[in-house]
Amino acid sequence: MLFSVRGGVKLSYRKELSSESPIVRMPTPKRVCIPLQQHVGSPAEPVVEVGQWVGKGQLIGRAGRGISANVHASTSGTVIAIEERMAPHPSGLTQPTVVIDADGQDRWADLVQPITADFPLPASPKELSDRVAAAGIVGLGGAAFPSAVKLDMRYKHSIDTLVINGAECEPYITCDDRLMREAANEIVDGVRIMAYAIAAEQVIIAIEANKPKAVKAMREAAKVDSSIRVVTVPTRFPMGSAQHLLLAVTGRETPADKRTAEVGAVVHNVATARAVSSAIRRGEPLVSRVVTVSGHGVREPANVEVPLGTSVEDLLAFCGGLHPVPTLLIGGGPMMGAPLPSVHAPVVKGSCGVLALTASEINEGPESPCIRCGKCVTACPAGLVPVEMAQLIKRGDLQGAKAIGSQDCIACGSCSFICPSHIPLAHYFSFANGKLNALDRDARRQDRIRALIQARNERAAREAEVKKAASAARKAAKAAAAAAVASVVVACGAPEATEAAVAATQQLEEST
Ligand code: SF4
Ligand code: SF4
């Protein structure tokens, strides 16, 4: 049974450009530039040195503190630099990156012992999630959240459901479709490993209805395990968002400020499941991924298994290069992806697509005034009122936009896509949310500083009290001692001695 989800848009999918292109493995390029942060969380710390030879799959960056992920060499060769290099982000900002000159042998390093036994696996759930963490696996649907952290959520939340995301709702992108058709058995194996690791009672593989061949292949492969259901979901963007997919297949709504685990489910992508199978069954860390290269600006659209760290330039060259005038290069899908700053940016774990779009493929026109049609409201899957939020943001009223939910925006871009006035609504929200997050961070920092100052003042007040009490005690003790001396002398009766005692007592009292 499927549950209805709100909002969303019907898109022109244009998947036919690459959907019939089987996955091809790209030869290792001469050089790979592997960023140490390809995931949500803190960057990995480099564990190799310049000049060192590394094998394919060798750890080159150890996961940092908190949420993070390991990073491995995607081919064998020599580390020629560990330096700041361009990240695949529209800002063009740099990141610490390990640069490896390939030796052309693509020789694997020593890998961990694989687990080849059939189910039930001779390994504990914790051992499996540790292996997934060691392999540097992150969500390959684009979110790049460390997968082991999700598997370990069973220790924090009561999880009963594993949803496998095969929706692939972004236009042009077909890498998951091809993987499901070509590697269904591996995917199902990874799904079973993850289901065991989180002790899931039900497993649902959800695929958009526009991929009938993938549905058929996955249903066939899933016959090995009766707890797995393969269901089709409507073809409607953004069905691939974890919250919407979960709602569609289980009816469970995830509050905006919560994770799906808090409503008893974890959602993993099909490519992630395949990577988990490779890590457990062959001991291979995540060193490559399938990327869809598409758009009318590319000569030979394709699905390519690409070594991580390969430059977009090398990948495009492998796909026949570009037609003379593509207008826009995008990393990811056209709805939730981002413009690439340069062809020198590397392919990373979250790169599901590289698109070269021509002017006719871009839904952009001159922005005109809002005609109050309400289409953006109907399209918003998060139940927001984009038109109102945009107006508040335009007026600089970020807190007003926040008050009506701007921070619940999942940046799907449906509102911008549907707007007949070509108002870049989603851009307003990402701008405003960036500012609001910065303001929140600043407010938290100010709170921390205020708390530190208050603690320091309280400590100083306590120390002053202690000093005052000690001083009063000293005075009292001295006065008591002086009085005792005086009374002894007076009792002896010698007048000079009495005067001297009185003087000494006064002196003592004055000195205290
Ligand atoms: S980008 Fe945000 S506001 Fe616009 S439709 Fe998506 S969730 Fe709603
Ligand atoms: S879709 Fe565009 S024109 Fe229509 S109400 Fe929203 S912002 Fe205004």
* pLDDT tens-digit profile, the chain (512 residues): 788 788 889 888 999 999 999 999 999 999 999 999 999 899 999 999 999 999 999 999 999 999 999 999 999 999 999 999 988 876 678 899 999 999 999 999 999 999 999 998 999 999 999 999 999 999 999 889 999 999 999 999 999 999 999 999 999 999 999 999 999 999 999 999 999 999 999 999 999 999 999 999 999 999 999 999 999 999 999 999 999 999 999 999 998 788 999 999 999 999 999 999 999 999 999 999 999 999 999 999 999 999 999 999 999 999 999 998 767 899 999 999 989 989 999 999 999 999 999 988 886 778 899 999 999 999 999 999 999 999 999 999 999 999 999 989 998 999 999 999 999 999 899 888 888 888 888 888 888 899 999 999 999 999 999 999 999 999 998 888 888 877 766 666 655 555 655 565 565 555 44
User: Helix or strand or coil: residue 64?
Assistant: coil
Which two structure tokens, joined as six digits, stand for 261?
């685990």
Ligand 1 mutation pick, 391, 409, 430, max ligand atoms within 8 A of CB: 409
Interatomic CA distance for residues 441 and 453, integer angstroms? 18
Nearest ligand atom owner, CA of 388: 2
Which two structure tokens, joined as six digits, stand for 265?
């489910």
Which two structure tokens, joined as six digits, stand for 495?
């007048």
Nearest residue by C-alpha to atom 8 in ligand 1: 380
Q: Where are the domains of the chain?
A: 15-318
Instruction: Identify the bridge partners of residue 265 per DSSP, sorted by sequence position.
Output: 161
Nearest ligand atom owner, CA of 336: 1
Which two structure tokens, joined as six digits, stand for 392?
């508040």
Name the packing angle between helices 175-182 and 270-282 (round to 10°): 50
> Is 15-318 in CATH node 3.40.50.11540?
yes
Closest atom of ligand 1 to 426 CA is: 1
Left (φ > 0), alpha (ψ -120 to 50) or beta: where does 47 sit? alpha
Left (φ > 0), alpha (ψ -120 to 50) or beta: where does 288 sit? beta
**Is the bond leading into 120 cis (omega within 30 degrees of zero)?**
yes
Element (H, E) at 202: strand 202-208
Whether 283 is in the pocket of ligand 1, judged by its Cβ within 6 Å, is no
Question: Phi and psi at residue 199, in whole multiples of 5°?
Answer: 55, 45
DSSP states of 45-57 as a string? Answer: EE---TT-EE-BT
Nearest ligand atom owner, CA of 368: 2
Going across the sheet that includes 53-54, the strands are 31-35, 94-102, 77-86, 53-54
Whether 373 is in the pocket of ligand 2, judged by its Cβ within 6 Å, is yes
Nearest residue by C-alpha to atom 1 in ligand 2: 419
Interatomic CA distance for residues 145 and 37, integer angstroms? 11
Closest atom of ligand 1 to 406 CA is: 3
Parallel, antiparallel, or unpaired: how do β-strands 53-54 and 77-86 relate?
A: antiparallel
Ligand 2 mutation pick, 367, 368, 376, 377, max ligand atoms within 8 A of CB: 376
For residue 269, which amino acid is it?
N
Which two structure tokens, joined as six digits, stand for 63?
């996961």
DSSP states of 44-95 as a string? Answer: PEE---TT-EE-BT-EEEE--SSS---EE-SS-EEEEEEEEEE-SSTT--EE
